[in-house]
Amino acid sequence: MKDSDRPAVLFIGLSWEERCFLGLKVDHKYYNRTTKVVLLYNEHSSDRDAANRDKIIQYCKKRNIIVQEILLKYNDSIFNWKTIEKAIFGIREELGRAVLDITTLPRELAWTLLYNIGKYTPSVQYIYHSPAKYTDEWVCKEPGAPRLLFRHSGISELNKPTALIILTGFDEIRTKKLVEYYEPKFLALGIQTGSKYSNNVRNSLSKHLDVVKGEVEHTHFSIDAYSKEHGLGQLNRIIKQLRGYNIVACSHGPKLTLVSLYRSHQSNPQMALCYVPSRLYNINYSDGIGETFRGVIEF
């Protein structure tokens, strides 16, 4: 039986973005035997997300798809971890059919889901819908303090210095914040290749280097989130070069790098995964829906 013909349990992060609901329609067209949608949403942005929530619920109701909602709290990683852990345990029998739509899921939540789903099933499918375009304005601001992901905080060795790997995005202030917070001995910047979404301008190496000038020894490498492996090869190469360090790694930029970083962590559990929350996201964050990417993560 083709994957797409199997009954599916679809995990979605609720968002106001168009591609949240449009993505569900694409997902359902592909996984045409979806039986349940697990909708993760955040009380902090519930007003903004309300329209999409209603659309999703109505859409599912018409098609006899059960909607299970998981209410989370903004910036409360302890509450969110425990809530997701409990929710996943409750549906552990259904996880053989799990499909994770990471499009509008915050990275920390996506990783938390992956860990918990991985306890009960050997693999999970993932989907990502890129937008038609991003806003020309700011995308997110007011970054919070970086934090290590529970259970993925690595295995540090005493006497080793810290190296920071940042897969960069449009916001160089997050790069600055990470460097200031961890004060690494060495910084490796993973820069997305290409000019899609004006990446070559908005996510240029020079922008990120400017904010850390004189503060830390650094290198950079190219990464292509939209390639088949989402840059896993480049990532593993840099990790190998940084064997003499305790590594902390963070994914900003194209969402698909959360997949490559997670896979990298699976084979390099000594590396810590890190997340920097943002308090504000631009209401005009993105428009429409673009290309869809699919894959499988093995546990």
Partner 1 sequence: MMSRNPFEFEAANNLTTRELLDYYIEDFNYSRFLDSKRNIFLLGERGSGKTMTLLYHSFKVKYQDSRRNDASDLLDNVGVHIPCNTPLFHKKEYLLLDDDHKAQIIAEHYFVIAIVNEIILSLSLVGDAKEAFKPFDKEFLEEIGYIFNIPSRSNSNFLDSVRKWIGKIVFNTQKHINQAENIFYEEALSLGSFLLPLIKMIKQVPLFSSTHFSFLMDDAHDLNIHQIKVLNSWIAYRDHSDFSVKLATTKVNKPIQITTTGGSILEGHDFTIIDLEKPYFNKDSDFGKLARQIIKKRLLKINNLDIEPEDFFPTSKEFEAALEKYKEIARIEAVSIYGHSDPKKITDHVYKYSRAYYFRERAKSKANLVPYSGFSMLVDLSTGIIRNLLDPCYYMYDAVVSEASEPFEGIHFVPPHTQREVILNRSNALWKRLENGLEKEIEGCSEEQGKMILQLIDNIVSLFRERLLHHKSEPRAIMFSISEVNDASFVKLIELLRIAQMSQLLYTRTGVSKDDGKKDTYYILNRMFLPTRGLDPNGQHARVSIKSKDLWNAAKDNKSIPYSKGNDNSPEESVQPKLF
Give the H/E segment covering residue 294. Answer: strand 292-298
Residue 206 binding partner 1, by CB under 8 A: no
182 makes contact with partner 1 (CB under 8 A): yes
Q: Is 82 in the site for partner 1 (CB under 8 A)?
A: yes
Residues 127-146 that bind partner 1 (CB under 8 A): 141-145
Residues 9-68 that bind partner 1 (CB under 8 A): none
Q: Which of 169, 57, 134 is nearest to 288 (CA)?
A: 134
Q: Which has the closest alpha carbon to 275: 116, 137, 151, 185?
A: 151
- Give, in order, the Cα–Cα distances in Å from 123 to each of 81, 111, 115, 140, 273: 20, 14, 11, 32, 20
156 is a contact residue toward partner 1 (CB under 8 A): yes
Least distance CB 193 / partner 1 (angstroms): 26
Cα→Cα distances 294→59, 80, 108, 228, Å: 23, 26, 19, 9
Does 269 engage in binding with partner 1 (CB under 8 A)? yes
**Which of residues 65 and 238 has its CB atom nearest to partner 1 in the complex?**
238
Q: Which stretch binds partner 1 (CB under 8 A): 42-50, 92-100, 176-184, 225-233?
A: 176-184
- Between CA 192 and CA 212 the distance in angstroms is 19
Contact window for partner 1 (CB under 8 A) among 51-59, 77-85, 124-132, 253-261: 77-85
For partner 1, the closer of residues 179 and 258 by Cβ is 179
Distance in angstroms between the alpha carbons of the first and the last residue of the chain: 22
Q: Which is nearer to partner 1, 212 or 235 (CB)?
A: 212
Could you count the other beta carbons within 10 Å of the beta carbon of residue 82?
12
Please report whether residue 111 would count as binding partner 1 according to CB under 8 A.
no
Q: Which residue of 153, 193, 227, 266 would you call a contact of partner 1, by CB under 8 A?
A: 153
Q: Is 177 in the site for partner 1 (CB under 8 A)?
A: yes
Rounded CA separation 27/14 (Å): 14
- Of 157, 228, 244, 296, the residue at the interface with partner 1 (CB under 8 A) is 157
- Interface with partner 1 (CB under 8 A), residue from 155, 201, 283, 296: 155
111: three-class secondary structure by DSSP: helix
